[in-house]
Structures are given as structure tokens and as C-alpha cells.
Amino acid sequence: MHSTAFFYILNRMEKEKGHLHPLTHVIRDVLSVLTEMGFEITQAPEIDSEFYNFDALNVPKDHPARDMQDTFWVKGASETVLRTHVSNAQVRYMENHKPPFKVAYFGKAYRNEATDATHEAVFHQFETLVVGKNITLGNLKYTIESFTKKLFGDKITIRLRPGYFPFVEPGLEVDMSCFKCKGGMGCSVCKGTGWVEGIGAGMVHPNVLRAGGLDPREWQGFAFGAGWDRITMARYDIPDARLMASGDLRLTNQF
């Protein structure tokens, strides 16, 4: 005969709370901040046309990114790719919604590149898109600043540098002061520079607005996005991108 204490243990074992994947921890933080800032959550498909993934985003036909070596094409379907970024949501959303709007989207994206500790052919991104009457680069700066502060703490500062993405102009790279060593020098996250890279941003290119059926003389907007894996890896010191889809509870159960 087992005693009551045994049933207590059995119950505990069954009902012990499970764990969320570290990527989910991070995206929930991101989405909490963004929804609080008035963003709507939306989604776009992972298999998409070259139009939404490239043409509509001002990526010309002969752009190196469209080369076979960088993009996966779907067999037997013409001009169909595994999206190379979550930005395929941009024009899809514009087509079905009248500005002004603030949206956030996230998910898997695919790139035809060899896998190593820092590169995965299957990776994760999140991005935001804001379109309105008089949206400026100053608004972009304010929004990223508030976003990073809410996500990583009030002490975080950002700096903007020139960057290049075909679907925005001006294009920007955003660095934030290191959330680990608080902008001090010398930790593994910022590699001693005091800055963490990884947010791409810019003013929506007029060609993208046009592709979405919007008149660039009337509407302006910005977008910013980041590698969701990269932020997760930096935040939790996870050394290898390949661990994300390993199905291994030795990863998940630490969080």
C-alpha cells in the first residue's frame, strides 16, 4: 500500500509547469512592448511569391540576393520562394489595410547558406512597419529608442549608422548599448565594443509604398526589424544557432 505522500509526489511530477522555448520568451517580451505601444500583430506566409518577397520590396531582378545561392525556390511552382525575410508582410498588409497603421510580424525565414554556429538556413526574425501622413526618421528614432528601453531597461541608448536594405531609404543600422555589460567595455555579448548590433531600419522606400497601392506623396513610413535568434542568443548567451531547432529539452528546460 502506498501512503498519501506518494500520491502527492505523483501529482507534483505530473503537474509541474513546463517550459517555454527561449525564442518564445524573447518574442513575448517583444510583442508585449509593441502591443503596449499600439502595434497590431499580423502574419505573412513562409512560402510566398517572388513579388512579395523581392519585387514589391524594391529588390531588382538581377540583385545578387535573388541568386540561387541565397534563396530557396519551390520546386514545380513558378516564381515561388521560401521567404528570405519576414518583410514579405509589408506589401501584403498595405494591400489590405488603409493607413495609418502600426504593425508587427514575426516568424521563420529561410536562406540558402551553409549552416554554422552563427548562421542557420532556417532562422527567425521580427519586424515592424509604421505608415502614416507625416512619419519621419525622427519618429523612427524615437520608436526604436522607446522599444529598446522597454525591452532592455531605461539605461539603454542607441546609435544610428548608415545601412543598406533595398526596401528602405535612408537605410539604417541601429546599435544599442550593451544590455549585458551596460555599455561598459568587454563582455561576450558586445565583444568588448559596448554596442550590440542587429537592428536594421529605415524609411519605407517609395517603390514599396507604390507596390502596396499607396501614394508616396501622401504617405510615409518606417520599418525596423531584427534577427530574433540573434537577440535570443545574445540575451541568454546561447552559443550556437543550431540549438534552436534541436528539439532538446536541455535547452528549453533551462528557461
Q: Looking only at residues 56 through 95 of this chain, which bind other proteins when binding is defined by CB under 8 A?
A: 62, 64, 67-69, 72-76, 82
- Residue 218 lies near other proteins (rule: CB under 8 A): no
- Residue 160 lies near other proteins (rule: CB under 8 A): yes
Question: DSSP label at 178?
Answer: -
User: What Å distances lie between residue 43 and 149, 239, 252, CA to CA?
Assistant: 25, 29, 25
**Contact of 91 with 215, CB cutoff 8 Å:** no
- Residue 176 lies near other proteins (rule: CB under 8 A): no
Query: Where does this chain touch other proteins (CB under 8 A) — which range of 49-57, 84-92, 232-240?
Result: 232-240
Interacting residue with other proteins among 49, 143, 148, 177 (CB under 8 A): 143
What is the number of alpha carbons within 13 Å of residue 154 lying toward its C-beta?
0
Query: Where does this chain touch other proteins (CB under 8 A) — which range of 49-57, 87-95, 238-246?
Result: 238-246
Interacting residue with other proteins among 51, 55, 150, 170 (CB under 8 A): 170
Cβ at position 223, least distance to other proteins in Å: 13
**Contact of 144 with 163, CB cutoff 8 Å:** no
**Contact of 196 with 190, CB cutoff 8 Å:** yes
Interacting residue with other proteins among 149, 150, 206, 210 (CB under 8 A): 206
Cβ at position 215, least distance to other proteins in Å: 14
Amino acid at 113: E
- Residue 26 lies near other proteins (rule: CB under 8 A): yes
Backbone torsion region of residue 184, taken as left when φ is above 0, otherwise alpha when ψ lies between -120 and 50, otherwise beta:
beta
